[in-house]
Amino acid sequence: MQSTGTTAPLDIPRGLAGVVVTDTALGDVRGREGFYHYRQYSAVELAESRGFEDVWHLMFHGELPDAAQRTEFLAHAASLRHLPGDVRAALPAIARSCALSGPLAGLRTALSLLGASMGMRPVYDLDAGRRKADALAVCAAVPTLLTALHRLGQGLDPVEPRDDLPYAANYLYMLTGSEPEPDRARAIEQYLVSTIDHGFNASTFTARVIASTGADVAACLVGAIGALSGPLHGGAPSRALDTLDAIGTEDRIDSWIRERVLAGERIMGFGHPVYRTEDPRSRMLRQIAESFGGPLVEFAIQVEAHVEAILAELKPGRELHTNVEFYAGVVMEQCGLPREMFTPTFCAARVVGWSANILEQAEDSKIIRPAARYVGPPPPQPLPVVS
């Protein structure tokens, strides 16, 4: 590879696989162990024992809140759920424009409008306190935007947020118009906590690249959502359920899976680019699904066992297990979420992790600017004569 600067570029793996690009105090994924953490705590243990706002506080402030801090943080975050009037007025038009593409596409537009409406300035020009305030405001508004866009797309009026409900319960309330049953709200909360952050995945890295330019928080998050919208990143929960639907019955599992594996197709909900053992998020979500029970859960467990056996036979030496999307889809289906809201729900959690990464990246003034290897015709070539 040739260099145009003073430092010779290095050849690195495709997709930056395994390349360390920065230091972070936010967390890590240890794929060979099947473990990941938020700051110094196990992410799964946090999901099992803490509420969403506690972990949000941890990611933004570096510590879990005490009782007084929790009360203050919950009240402040809840007060930020309400949208500016000009943004709220624009949502019907955004929803109509995104009728075919869905709420996640609408969120990109709505977040750009929200950032402009709030007068968000580049993080490069702000102190740490102002950056954090901007990030907190956007995180609080995302569930309101998502649920409003979904309901408008269904011909329903948006439901105004309630300040007395915690994050997950309020999200379900705004989505359905009814206060959720506690076990459903808690199941979704555990899912949300478990997906706040997960290392330097494509959307998180995108957010940090944009933050490294000094752009405003909303711009960074719009880019992250664009990365998340790709089916290889955030679109698998509903696709995993589509797989269960397509298989239909237990007697069809082997033939259906074998045909697709032998054809080189990916089985949605299985395999992960980092984990070389079972995804710890999948373990936790399977337990949540089992607590609800029912035919869907029983069938999902049967499919999991069959698929893992077939993959072990046809792809020996590779550790291919269920990832977070497989049982996430099952849990969200059991809790009454429509499938078109599965990936947006993931986004409602990950926005906190993205924002924490944006805040951390904003502390570093170095722009992220990698190199590429040119493989086209050798330059300079003579220009063709104009005939």
* pLDDT tens, residue order, the chain (387 aa): 334 445 666 777 777 777 888 899 999 998 888 899 999 999 999 999 999 999 999 999 999 999 999 999 999 999 999 999 999 999 999 999 999 888 999 999 999 999 999 999 999 999 999 999 999 999 999 999 999 999 999 999 999 999 999 999 999 999 999 999 999 999 999 999 999 999 999 999 999 999 999 999 999 999 999 999 887 776 667 778 888 899 999 999 999 989 988 888 877 777 776 766 778 888 899 999 999 999 999 999 998 888 888 888 888 877 777 777 888 999 999 999 999 999 999 999 999 999 999 999 999 989 999 888 899 999 999 999 998
Q: Alpha helices of 154-273 — where are they, by DSSP H?
A: 167-176, 182-194, 202-212, 217-228, 236-247, 253-262
Q: Active site includes 290?
A: no
Q: Active site includes 325?
A: yes
pLDDT of residue 4: 44
pTM of the model: 0.91
pLDDT of residue 380: 95
pLDDT of residue 135: 98
- CA nearest neighbour of 38 among 47, 28, 48: 28
The answer to whether 121 and 362 have CB atoms below 8 angstroms apart is: no
Q: What is the Cβ-side half-sphere exposure of residue 56, based on CA atoms within 13 angstroms? A: 30
pLDDT of residue 235: 60
pLDDT of residue 372: 87
Q: Name every residue whose Cβ is closer than 8 Å to that of residue 385 and which is 6 or more positions away in sequence.
A: none
Cα 136–chain centre separation: 17
Cα distance between residue 138 and residue 130, in whole Å: 13
Beta bridge partners of 35: 30
Cα–Cα distances in Å, from 79 out to 42, 110, 267, 320?
Answer: 29, 19, 42, 44
- CA nearest neighbour of 140 among 347, 352, 358: 352
One-letter identity of residue 368: I
One of 272, 304, 321, 333 is an active-site residue; which one? 272
pLDDT of residue 273: 67
